[in-house]
Amino acid sequence: MFSFCYNIYGDDFMIIGMSCTRNWYQHLLTNIFAILSNNKVERFYLFIEDDTIDGLDLLENCFNTKFICKNVHNIFANYVHSDSPNLNTPYTIFSLSRLFFSKETDESRILYLDVDALVIDNIQDLWNLDMENYYVAGAIDSGMMKDGLIYMKFIESNVPYINSGVLLMNLDLIRKDHIDDKWLSMINSERLMYPDQDVINALCKDHIYIISEEYNSSRNTELLEDISQVKILHYTRKKIDWVRNHPFSEVWYDYEAKYEAFKKEH
Distance, in Å, from the CA atom of 202 to the CA atom of 195, rounded to the nearest integer, reads 11
The confidence score (pLDDT) of residue 147 equals 40
All structural domains of the chain: 14-265 (3.90.550.10)
Contacts of 158 (CB under 8 A, 6+ apart): none
Listed as ranges, residues in the chain with pLDDT below 70 are 1-11, 90-92, 143-158, 219-225, 237-242, 244
The confidence score (pLDDT) of residue 2 equals 37
Distance, in Å, from the CA atom of 246 to the CA atom of 254, rounded to the nearest integer, reads 14
Distance, in Å, from the CA atom of 124 to the CA atom of 131, rounded to the nearest integer, reads 14
The confidence score (pLDDT) of residue 218 equals 80
The confidence score (pLDDT) of residue 246 equals 75
Rounded to two decimals, the pTM is 0.90
Q: In the chain, helix, strand, coil percent, each to 5?
A: 40, 20, 45
The confidence score (pLDDT) of residue 144 equals 65
The residue among 171, 176, 202 whose CA lies nearest residue 189 is 202
pLDDT, tens digit (0-9, with 9 covering 90-100), for 33-84 = 999 999 999 999 999 999 999 999 999 999 999 999 999 988 888 999 988 9
Other CB atoms within 10 Å distance of the CB of residue 26: 13
